[in-house]
Amino acid sequence: MPRYRLLLEYDGTRYSGWQMQQNARTVQGMLINAARDAFGKVGEVMGSGRTDAGVHALGQVVHIDLPESLPSNRIRIGLNDNLPADINILNAFPVPKNFHARHDAIGRSYLYQISRRRTAFGKNLVWWIRDDLDVGGMRRASAIAAGMHDYRAFADNDPSEKSTMVLVESVEVGESGDLILIRIRASHFLRKMVRRVVGCIVEIGRGNLPLDAFAASLENPDRSMTMTAPPSGLFLEQVRYKGESYRTELCPAVIAG
């Protein structure tokens, strides 16, 4: 079966995450059903990584095996015609049979949106925080995160993970109007890691945690950091493969109202 690479965006609000589950609506499940409806049958469908319930994607990468060679535009239109409005295929193109969306990825970028005001339109796309936040303190905390560290303190226990060491390439904190944007780029991410890193940075911004609490948890991974940001503000922004570059601008994922 020919293999294709897909680029997806989705609003994860109505879904129990990316990965297919019994008796649950998932993005992967919807994609498989759409492919069957459009093309009759489907082979392997694999994403670059899991996103949790309520988490969104601007650039989820998927490989999919289809029964015959088809024009890229026909694949994109055929899938979109059978997908709900909150899942969208941005592009599709053929790749070698050995391309693997997860194993071939060399970097991933997540974006988190915090709103400093109540919004009537974007509540599922932001974390609204009433408290004043010290953005300078949040930036200083984020700088500590970069580098190779043991992130066990910021992750749920996952027996499938062979190591809790993660190479974090960068953590940026920016502002755009009423939004505070946090972007985290790393080789890979542990379960709940991004949301707990954001939760810790926010608590430092609120003044509820000293700046050295972040560094202390990296140095002593037995000090669990359980402050977990809600899934609503989190987006899988980009997945990077060999020969590809990250986008440079730090801007909102969507207009949040």
Cβ-based neighbour number of residue 149 at 10 Å: 20
Last residue of a domain, one of 47, 73, 95: 95
DSSP category for residue 175: E
Residues 118 and 66 reside in one and the same domain: no
Average pLDDT of the chain is 94
Residues 128, 58, single domain; the answer is: no
Task: Give burial (CB, 10 Å; 0-12/13-18/19+) of 140.
Answer: middle
State the residue range of the domain holding 147.
107-240
203 and 127 co-located in one domain = yes
Respond yes or no: is residue 52 known to be catalytic: yes
Are 230 and 158 members of one domain?
Answer: yes
Using alpha carbons, select from 165, 154, 159, 161 the residue that is nearest to residue 224: 154
Question: Residue 29's domain is classified under what CATH number?
Answer: 3.30.70.580
Average pLDDT of the residues in 50-79:
96
Tell me: do 111 and 188 sit in the same domain.
yes
Catalytic residue among 52, 156, 158, 178: 52
Same domain, 124 and 232: yes
Q: What is the pLDDT of residues 186-204, one digit of tens each?
A: 999 999 999 999 999 999 9
The pTM of this model reads: 0.95
Where is the domain boundary, 95, 129, 154?
95
Reported as a single tens digit per residue, the pLDDT across 91-139 is 999 999 999 999 999 999 999 999 999 998 889 999 999 999 999 999 9
- Residue 219, domain member (yes or no): yes
Rounded Cα distance between 202 and 45, Å, is 36
The pLDDT assigned to 256 comes to 54
Structure tokens given for 166: 């993660």
CATH of the domain at 211: 3.30.70.660
